[in-house]
Structure 1
Amino acid sequence: MDIQGIIFDKDGTLFDFGATWNGWAAGVIDHLSGGDAVRAQAMADAARFDLGAGAFHPDSPVIAGTSREAAECLASALPERDLDEIERLLDEMAARAPLAPAVPLDPFLAELGARGLRLGVMTNDSEVTAMAHLNAAGIARRFDFIAGFDSGHGAKPAPEPLLAFATFVGLAPANVVMVGDSLHDLVAGRAAGMRTVGVLTGMAGHDELAPMADVVLPDIGHLPTWLVE
C-alpha cells in the first residue's frame, strides 16, 4: 500500500471511549442536574446514557457528535439553561476528562513518524479540547495537523476536514488512511477517497464498521503491521 499519511479520530481511537468518557458523562449529568433525579434521568435519556450501568448506549448521538450536539442533547432537559453556557461547561469539563490511551501513544506515534508518515487528528470535539487532550497526553507534537469541528473545515461525516489534512500535508487522498471507531469516521474517509480502518476501542462493533472499512482492527496498535501487509 502506498500510504503516506494517516488521519486519526480522537475519542474511541487514540483514547478508549468507554474508559475515558463514561465516568465523565456521569459527572456532567450529576453536576447539571443539581441532585434532581428526574432531571438527571431526562438528560441521560436525551444523551442515550444508562445511569445504572454508567455507560453510553451504542446509539448515543454524543459518541460521534460535536460538543455542540452534545450540549443540545442535554439542553433539551434543561430549558432554563442557555445552550452556549452548557456547551462552554462541557468543553471545560471535557478538557479535564481522565484520558485512557488505547495504546502507549508516544512510542506508537514516534514509530509511525519514523516511517515518514504524515499524521493528523480530526475530531468532532472542539479544537480547544482536542489540543488540551493531546497536550495532556504529551503527543500534540507528533501531529502535523489537528482540527476540531470548529476549526473551519466542517465536521464528520463530511469529507472536507479530512481533505483539509491531505491538502495541508500535500498528499493525494488516495495515499491517506482514515482511522476511526465510528461510522461517522469511516463514511467521511470513504467520501474523501481515502482508505479506511475501523478500530474497536469505541462503542461500535465489528459488524457495524466492517461494511465501510478496508479492515477492522482491535485497536490502533495493530496498524503498523497492517500497513506493511
Structure 2
Amino acid sequence: MAEIRGILFDKDGTLFDFHATWGAWAQGFLSDLSQGDAGRAQALGQAIGFDHSAGVFAPDSPVIAGTPGDIAAFLLPHLPGTSPDVLIAQMNRAAAAAPMKEAVPLAPMLDGLRGMGLALGVATNDAEAPARAHLAAAGVAGRFDFIAGSDSGHGAKPAPGQLLAFADAAGLAPASVLMIGDSRHDLTAGRAAGMGTVGVLTGPATARDLADLADAVLPDIGHLGAYLTARLR
C-alpha cells in the first residue's frame, strides 16, 4: 500500500455537513425563485429531488453531486424565459452566501493533517468561487494547497480531472493521494485517478452505498487522523 502524502477532500457532505447546510438554504433559494408561491416552490423542489416543505433532499437528488449546470438543467423547464447563464450566476451568488455547517471543527483537524506533512486540497462539483467563499468563511481556505470547482478547467467528478490536477500541482503520484468524499461520484473519481478512497457519512449516502468503492468508510473526517495512523502500523 502506497505511503499517503496528500489528502483531497470533497466539499459538501465531507468538509461541511450536507443536510444541515443545504436543506434550509434550498428552501430559501427556491422560495426566492418562485417569488413566494409555495406551490411553485414545491414544484421546483420536486424537479431537483427536494421536498420543499420538509427541507430534505432525496438520495438521488442531482444537487448532491451535480454541478451548477446540472442543477440548472432540471430547474429551467419550470422557469420559462430564464437563461441558463442567468440562473447559474444567480445560484452561484446565493450559494456563496450559504451559512455552512462544518462536519467537524475544521481548523484543528486540518492543522493536524498538515502537521503530518500532508498536502491538502479540495475538489468540488460546486463552482470555484462559492467554494472559496465557504472555505474562507470557515477560516480554513489558507490551509489548502489546491482548490478546484467544476468550472476551474479540470472537469467535474466522477471524471478524474480535478483529482489528477491536484496530484500534479502537489507534485505527487496519484497512488499517494487519498480522495475523501460522501458520494459515489467522489469515490468513482478517486478510483479512476488511481487514488485511495475513503467515504464519509456526513452526506446523504449510507455506508452500504459507498462500500464497494471505498477502502474505508468513516463516520466523518474527524476520524482521518486515526485511520492514517493505523495504516502506518
The TM-score normalised by the length of structure 1 is 0.98
Tell me if 1:38 matches 2:77: no
Give a deviation string over 1:52-94, Cα, whole Å, max 9, x none.
2111111101110011111222212112212211111111111
DSSP-derived class of the 1:39 partner: helix
Paired AA for residue 95 in structure 1: A
Paired AA for residue 140 in structure 2: I
Give a deviation string over 1:172-204, Cα, whole Å, max 9, x none.
111000000000000000000000000000011
Give a deviation string over 1:75-117, Cα, whole Å, max 9, x none.
1211221221111111111111011000110111011001100
Extract structure 1 runs of 4+ deviating beyond 3 A. none
Structure 1 runs not aligned, ≥5 long: none
2:86 aligns with: 85
- Residues 42 and 53 in structure 2, CA contact (< 8 A), matched pair in contact too: no
What value does the CA root-mean-square deviation take over the aligned residues? 0.9
Q: How do 1:119-138 residues align onto structure 2 when only pairs under 5 Å count?
A: 119-138=120-139
Provide the rounded CA distance (Å) in 1 between the counterparts of 2:126 and 2:135.
Answer: 12
CA offset at residue 141 of structure 1? 0.5
DSSP-derived class of the 2:97 partner: coil
Q: How do 1:210-229 residues align onto structure 2 when only pairs under 5 Å count?
A: 210-229=211-230
DSSP-derived class of the 2:13 partner: coil
Paired AA for residue 135 in structure 1: A
- Residues 43 and 76 in structure 1, CA contact (< 8 A), matched pair in contact too: no
1:73 aligns with: 74
Provide the rounded CA distance (Å) in 1 between the counterparts of 2:64 and 2:78.
Answer: 18
2:148 aligns with: 147
DSSP-derived class of the 1:76 partner: helix
Q: How do 1:1-229 residues align onto structure 2 when only pairs under 5 Å count?
A: 2-229=3-230
CA offset at residue 35 of structure 1? 2.0
Provide the rounded CA distance (Å) in 2 between the counterparts of 1:138 and 1:26.
Answer: 26
Provide the rounded CA distance (Å) in 2 between the counterparts of 1:76 and 1:105.
Answer: 38
Over the matched positions of the two proteins, sequence identity in percent amounts to 61
Provide the rounded CA distance (Å) in 2 between the counterparts of 1:198 and 1:174.
Answer: 17
The TM-score normalised by the length of structure 2 is 0.96
CA offset at residue 45 of structure 1? 1.1
Provide the rounded CA distance (Å) in 1 between the counterparts of 2:108 and 2:38.
Answer: 44
Paired AA for residue 46 in structure 1: A
Provide the rounded CA distance (Å) in 2 between the counterparts of 1:39 and 1:76.
Answer: 12
Paired AA for residue 110 in structure 1: D
Paired AA for residue 221 in structure 2: I
Provide the rounded CA distance (Å) in 1 between the counterparts of 2:48 and 2:71.
Answer: 7
DSSP-derived class of the 1:187 partner: helix
Provide the rounded CA distance (Å) in 2 between the counterparts of 1:29 and 1:20.
Answer: 15
- Residues 6 and 177 in structure 2, CA contact (< 8 A), matched pair in contact too: yes
Paired AA for residue 118 in structure 2: L
Provide the rounded CA distance (Å) in 2 between the counterparts of 1:55 and 1:97.
Answer: 16
Number of aligned residue pairs: give it.
Answer: 229
- Residues 178 and 197 in structure 1, CA contact (< 8 A), matched pair in contact too: yes
Provide the rounded CA distance (Å) in 2 between the counterparts of 1:81 and 1:34.
Answer: 14
